[in-house]
Amino acid sequence: MISKGLLPALLISVVLSFSSCTRDAYYQNNKAHQKKVAEATQVLLETPKTKLESPNDTLVINDQWIGTTNFSIRKPNFVVIHHTAQESLDQTIRTFTVTRTSVSSHYVISRDGTVVQMLNDYLRSWHAGRGSWGNDTDLNSSSIGIELDNNGSEYFTDKQIESLIQVLKVLKEKYNIPTANFIGHADLAPGRKVDPSEYFPWKKLADAGFGYWYDEKILQPDYEGKVPVNFNPIDALRIIGYNISDPAAAIQSFKLHFTKREINNPELTDLDKMILYDLYLKYR
């Protein structure tokens, strides 16, 4: 039996314990993160061995080591936007903090606009996977990954997009990221990825300075512009940045980003070609 005098103290203890557990839910994960950062830092601090110091190590290639102060750390040059394809922020964080998944992202933005940072911008996140954009074949090494809490079959919330734009403003200014280098996962991985889905408001981002958009007068019935006879749309996709080894897949990714019409049609309509030509003039 618990005495009446002990009951209030016991309740306070339980509440404090619960509060502590809630506050430190990711304590062990953050501790493991710090350990891994320390291990990566140690690699940078190591002085490379010379052949004289390690005569039997075939991986040692230098005869002499002379340090220079003319260097810097990784500088992000792209931002890749994803949707999580999951049902909640907590589910995504769980996915990104379990070792066996081998996936991560620098930022996750919830439906209510909450921004969760999971990696220092200078660290290499595992978010892009196999793919390319222009001549860059390792986007994990050159980009910041941003995941939006969205299952892929729904519109993105206003608060979420507002938070995203604020994050992009900081990243663009901080790292001098070119306007053209704000892309989607589907852009760099045609045929393999479709995020951030056809529901993503790319025009709103372009209006804010993140990525290009076409002149919407093209959509007017009385538009009289024409595509040059010698215009090659597949070459134009390549110049924008798409991998055209599978033209149909590149066209699908282009439509997901820019036209949002007849996405599964592997052919470009006349309207698609006019839009592509207008974009080609901006990206080239």
**Could you give the residue numbers annotated as active site?**
147
Q: Which residue has the tokens 């052949």?
A: 51
**Strand order across the beta sheet in which 182-184 lies:** 115-117, 107-109, 143-148, 78-83, 182-184
User: What backbone phi and psi angles, to 5 degrees, belong to 22?
Assistant: -65, -45
Indicate the residue type of 6: L
Indicate the residue type of 47: T
Indicate the residue type of 64: Q
User: C-alpha dihedral over 171, 172, 174, 176, to 10 degrees?
Assistant: 140
Eight-state DSSP code of residue 183: E
Please spell the DSSP secondary structure of 91-146, one letter per residue. Answer: HHHHHHH-GGG----SEEE-TT--EEE-S-TTS--S-S-S--BTTBS-HHHHEEEE
Please say whether the beta carbons of 174 and 134 come within 8 A: no
